[in-house]
Structure 1
Amino acid sequence: MNTLPKLTGAKRVLVIGGGAAGLLAAGRAAELGAQVILLERMEAPGKKLLITGKGRCNITNTAPLKEFLAAFGPNGRFLYGAFHRFFRDQLLDFFRRRGVETESERGGRVFPVSHNAADVVNALVSHAREHGAEIRPNSRVRSIDRDSRGIRGVKLESGEFIPAEAVILAAGGASYPATGSAGDGFSLAEKAGHRINPLYPALVPLVIKEIGFAVACQGVALKNIRLTAFACEKASIPDITIEHDYGRGTGWEKPPPKVIESRFGEMLFTHFGIGGPITLLMSQAVARALDAGPVSVHIDLKPALSKKELDARLQREFAAYPRRQLPAILRELLPEKMVEVVAGISGIPLGRTAANFTAGDRRDLVKLLKGLAFEVRSTLPLGAAMVTAGGVELAEIDPKTMASKLVPGLYLAGEVLDLDADTGGFNLQAAFSTGWVAGEAAAKTASVDHA
């Protein structure tokens, strides 16, 4: 654990936002002797933390550093400095010393052994308070006040002005606004002079145009399938075989023409479209692609078989069961709830028996099973996303301290920054790491009176 001596002549640090980044920043700054006030717009801090990981709080991941950074795409390089100062081992030690034991699960996800996110929030709040940080709920910040020399303080919605030598902006993104993550951080940063890169929903389900199919298959979970997103209309999807995952963190970053991303794993049909793990992973890239033009998705229901191998399997089954009609044939290949709707879009008469299938019928069925396609209408809105993509331009932030390069005394941490990653604890680790570094740096700034 990185430790610094207590500071003397401490001045005031204000932390805007009581999420993962803000709570750890407040605790660290107070630990180093700063007078800290955390301003939380909700009635209590940690609201969003309480619902992460379905209430279990996936705090980090066991992935090696290189893979960890890759999960953030090109912007992951920015985190190298913060992770060098405070990474997974330091985080787990922090929680362990406060009675929160952890365990890793599939995919390297790390959770509290208690499976209770409240234990994480309580540890963060206790750490901040035991070092003297004041947590003020129901305190929404209207503006960050500055002059030519830097930070002067903040003004609250109530009209109260609170002077300070340093401000840490950790107000979160714009997803789950009911938890307090309502986009305030972006407007505050922009008013302070920072550029805000376009915001997109990330880790969010997709809405498809073929709503009737979605409704008919609502609740169907598909395992071991390949989902691929294409930058084109459904009719223009190229006839290609995808053998690798494409997208950030996959190791195969440059996909074939028109392919946006491709993932192997589990997905889910909803009443409006598609969700599930691999859909969420692809959603940020799809959201950005929709700004440029049409997007379609293509589900390979049998990725373990080539088209030739699947055709040979059908021929064997047709020979063994020549009287089977199309619905019975599909029951051997698909979940029951999908049989009727897939049969309906196949173009093959429902009563046609296996013995009467033509080579063309078989080819059409193979094509459908290897490429069930839909056109994407949109993602769900930003407020329904797990994470906000986009945010404060990283070139304007010092990656070693999280200090603003534009406003002396201003620090930024967490989801307000243009950083977002795949599911699995990566985003929370980034929030914790940037919060820790910002708190440490702000405490040092606040020890110098520049008034």
Structure 2
Amino acid sequence: MYDLIIIGAGASGLISAIVATRQGQRVLLIEKMSQAGRKLRITGKGRCNLTNTLPLKDFLKHCGSEPRFLYPSFNKFFTKDVVTFFGDLGVKTVEERGGRIFPQSGKAQDVFLAMINELEDSDCRILKDTEVTKLIVEEGKIVGVQTKGYKPQIFKSPKVILAAGGESYPLTGSQGDGVRLAKEVGHNIIPTLPSLVGLKLKHYNGERIDPSIIGFGVRNVNATITLESGKKVCQEFGELTFRENGVEGPIIITLSRQIARLLSQGERLFLNIDFKTALSEQELDEKLLSELNIRGKEDLRSVLRAFLPHELIYLAIYQTALDPRKKASFVTSQERKEILAFLKHCQFEIIGDFGFEQAIVTQGGVDLKEINQKTLESKLIKG
């Protein structure tokens, strides 16, 4: 008999186990993969962005469609508490641009090792290569879990924490087990979708346009998602990166969270990029006309260098279908409008996302109406 069983030895499971053992509880931590904390060790590109110094009100704006649900939890354990928690484990932290908090070493591995070392010295049993197949419930109360095997084992406890993750980065072990287990004991499940993920674009192929555009990042752009009718859905300003079959980057993954459900419903959506946000359309048109007149003997590709890096010139030529060798003095008024449209309203139809394999988080899962906001305990199953 254990005081607490935790399913999943990722970041949430490890922290939960540490807090529980410090309170004197006998803990069983079960991980289905051969190693604990696999996703933790690659997070933040291997550097592990622990938290952010934004005020709680602003922080919650970045926390999905139901941010108020998290208020009681963050009110008890927020940025200073996170820094103190890891400091007590021996992990020194530093604050970087944008209020982001990282381990001073810059290594996610150090964060993982600090937690696993404490647990190995505590009253916590860690079972790896062990998959939980069933939550055992009797008379509306959790009494234990059953694991997979030739002879399934049953481990008993009056309390279970489900920290099995979502479905993003499935190779790290996040394959929707937690959602399945919750559903089997009666929880309503909101359909899961990839979120904070790159977007695939129709009629866009970086290799065909020019290989140099793959991995090329553009800063200070406006990205707007619109419906087929032209109605704006959402908009973000910042940086995006072109990939072989679509786009990703900070503003794209933020937009993906806001349109995931619409995409899954088959709604036609369009990505509109403004590459020259500092200039109005009229100002840009006047500058373009001036450049074409002054540099009349140069070809169009040369003139476009005044407005775009060479990687994007390939994209401009591809999108407008204009002849890059055409002399500037022969560019027609209609062709100038097409260039202007590319610079201020470059549009692609969105045909999907990069999937759970590249998604940072999972959208959907257990219906929050069935979870106690103050304790995160199931309202359906006691314990």
Q: Shorter-chain-normalised TM-score: which range?
A: over 0.9
Q: Is 1:260 paired with 2:239? A: no
Q: Is 1:202 paired with 2:211? A: no
Do the aligned partners of residues 24 and 372 (structure 1) sit closer, same or farther apart at CA in structure 2, a change above 3 Å counting?
same
Do the aligned partners of residues 340 and 96 (structure 1) sit closer, same or farther apart at CA in structure 2, a change above 3 Å counting?
closer
In structure 1, C-alpha distance between the alignment counterparts of 2:235 and 2:155, rounded to whole Å: 49
Post-superposition CA distance 1:407-436 (Å, at most 9, x none): 001xxxxxxxxxxxxxxxxxxxxxxxxxxx
- Equivalence for 2:370: 396
- Equivalence for 1:300: 274
In structure 1, C-alpha distance between the alignment counterparts of 2:256 and 2:361, rounded to whole Å: 11
Give the alignment partner of residue 331 of structure 2, picking from 357, 364, 385.
357
Q: Letter of the aligned partner of 1:359 in structure 2?
A: S
- Equivalence for 2:171: 178
Q: Letter of the aligned partner of 2:239 in structure 1?
A: E
- Equivalence for 2:215: 219
Do the aligned partners of residues 341 and 90 (structure 1) sit closer, same or farther apart at CA in structure 2, a change above 3 Å counting?
closer
In structure 2, C-alpha distance between the alignment counterparts of 1:319 and 1:149, rounded to whole Å: 79
Deviation, 1:129, is 3.5
- Equivalence for 2:226: 230
In structure 1, C-alpha distance between the alignment counterparts of 2:121 and 2:77, rounded to whole Å: 21
Post-superposition CA distance 1:236-255 (Å, at most 9, x none): 5x4xxxxxxxxxxxxxxxxx
Q: Letter of the aligned partner of 1:18 in structure 2?
A: A
- Equivalence for 1:189: 182
Secondary structure at 1:47's aligned position in 2? coil
Give the alignment partner of residue 44 of structure 2, picking from 25, 41, 53.
53
Deviation, 1:345, is 3.2
Post-superposition CA distance 1:88-110 (Å, at most 9, x none): 11110111122111111122211
Q: Which runs of structure 1 show a deviation greater than 4 angstroms over 4 or more consecutive aligned residues? A: none
Deviation, 1:213, is 5.1
**Contact residue 39 and residue 137 of structure 1 kept, 8 A:** yes
Give the alignment partner of residue 384 of structure 1, picking from 358, 372, 379.
358
Post-superposition CA distance 1:106-141 (Å, at most 9, x none): 222111010111111122223334331111111110
In structure 2, C-alpha distance between the alignment counterparts of 1:360 and 1:134, rounded to whole Å: 72
Q: Letter of the aligned partner of 1:101 in structure 2?
A: K
In structure 1, C-alpha distance between the alignment counterparts of 2:138 and 2:322, rounded to whole Å: 73
Secondary structure at 1:54's aligned position in 2? coil
Gaps (5+ residues) in structure 1?
1-9, 239-257, 410-451
Identity rate, percent: 38
1:236-385 counterparts in 2 under 5 A?
238=230, 258-292=231-265, 293-385=267-359
In structure 1, C-alpha distance between the alignment counterparts of 2:277 and 2:284, rounded to whole Å: 10
- Equivalence for 2:114: 123
Give the alignment partner of residue 34 of structure 1, picking from 18, 25, 34.
25
Give the alignment partner of residue 72 of structure 1, picking from 63, 68, 74.
63
In structure 1, C-alpha distance between the alignment counterparts of 2:208 and 2:219, rounded to whole Å: 19
- Equivalence for 2:124: 133
Do the aligned partners of residues 81 and 341 (structure 1) sit closer, same or farther apart at CA in structure 2, a change above 3 Å counting?
closer
Q: Letter of the aligned partner of 1:288 in structure 2?
A: R
Gaps (5+ residues) in structure 2?
none
In structure 2, C-alpha distance between the alignment counterparts of 1:395 and 1:408, rounded to whole Å: 15
Secondary structure at 2:218's aligned position in 1? strand
**Contact residue 301 and residue 370 of structure 1 kept, 8 A:** yes
| Root mean square deviation, CA, Å | 1.7
**Contact residue 26 and residue 38 of structure 1 kept, 8 A:** yes
TM-score computed with the length of structure 2 as normaliser: 0.94
**Contact residue 18 and residue 170 of structure 1 kept, 8 A:** yes
- Equivalence for 1:429: none
Secondary structure at 1:46's aligned position in 2? coil
TM-score computed with the length of structure 1 as normaliser: 0.80
Secondary structure at 1:187's aligned position in 2? helix
Do the aligned partners of residues 40 and 351 (structure 1) sit closer, same or farther apart at CA in structure 2, a change above 3 Å counting?
closer
**Contact residue 206 and residue 245 of structure 2 kept, 8 A:** no
